[in-house]
Chain A
Amino acid sequence: DAKTTQPNSMESNEEEPVHLPCNHSTISGTDYIHWYRQLPSQGPEYVIHGLTSNVNNRMASLAIAEDRKSSTLILHRATLRDAAVYYCIPPGPISLTWGAGNNRKLIWGLGTSLGVNP
């Protein structure tokens, strides 16, 4: 089973960088690492993804460890609008498991709830 862990919650101050960690020690070699976030009362939205190399986009940066067993989502300057729950996929802390006939079961974990202080 693939297992990932994320801190339940983190706090940041506005305009400061935020580093959100995720451990995915049993990730498969071909699995992309996706990050999503869910703002209050909204659906999850895509933030960034990567396979092996670090990635940057207009929302965030993704730093992937060389052994791919962990990754860090970096928000360079947190704003109040960044307060959300951040999910690292493969999900954690609940396992992503393979069912019969290549049928993957997917339950997202609880993610990291990021609070941003003004």
Chain B
Amino acid sequence: DTAVSQTPKYLVTQMGNDKSIKCEQNLGHDTMYWYKQDSKKFLKIMFSYNNKELIINETVPNRFSPKSPDKAHLNLHINSLELGDSAVYFCASSLRTLTDTQYFGPGTRLTVL
């Protein structure tokens, strides 16, 4: 019974393409997140949604657009992919706030060629 799931696990695509990553949590949590882990292994928060409302929006290019159709889902759409977007993207959720325990998905490794 996977708590936080993401698809796809791997994504290889060409520069300039548009792609989406999906995330679902079955924990009944109110808040979901997208993180980016780059090649240097820093884990940076990109977005956070609480009950379908955007509450954290870090300095991320507007080519990245999160969408939350309901509080159990948070998808990430990326337009015009660039080489620098290559990274591992993690979805996470927590009960209410950023300081609550976070539960992470398995990650999506995005490679832009």
CB <8 Å contact, B102 and A46: yes
CB <8 Å contact, A107 and B45: yes
CB <8 Å contact, A94 and B90: no
Known: A43-B104, A108-B43. Is A32-B99 also a contact (CB below 8 A)? yes
* B95-111 Cβ-contact flags toward A at 8 Å (1 or 0): 00011011111110000
Docked pose: A103 CA to B47 CA in angstroms = 11
Known: A107-B43, A110-B42. Is A49-B101 also a contact (CB below 8 A)? yes
CB <8 Å contact, A110 and B41: yes
Docked pose: A46 CA to B103 CA in angstroms = 7
How many chain B residues touch A (Cβ–Cβ < 8 Å)? 21
A42 contacts which chain B residues (CB < 8 A)?
106-107
Closest-CB distance, A101 to chain B (whole angstroms): 10
Docked pose: A87 CA to B92 CA in angstroms = 16
Q: Is A34's beta carbon under 8 Å from chain B?
A: yes
Docked pose: A45 CA to B106 CA in angstroms = 10
CB <8 Å contact, A106 and B45: yes
B44 contacts which chain A residues (CB < 8 A)?
106-108
* B66-103 Cβ-contact flags toward A at 8 Å (1 or 0): 00000000000000000000000010100000110111
**Most chain A CB inside 10 Å of its own CB: which residue of B55, B92, B101, B106:** B101
* A31-50 Cβ-contact flags toward B at 8 Å (1 or 0): 11010100001111110010
Docked pose: A34 CA to B97 CA in angstroms = 14
CB <8 Å contact, B45 and A105: yes
CB <8 Å contact, B101 and A46: yes
B101 contacts which chain A residues (CB < 8 A)?
34, 46, 49
A–B Cβ pairs within 8 angstroms, 7 of them: A43-B104, A43-B106, A44-B90, A103-B55, A104-B56, A107-B45, A108-B44
The residues of A with any CB-CB pair to B shorter than 8 Å are 31-32, 34, 36, 41-46, 49, 85, 87, 94, 103-110
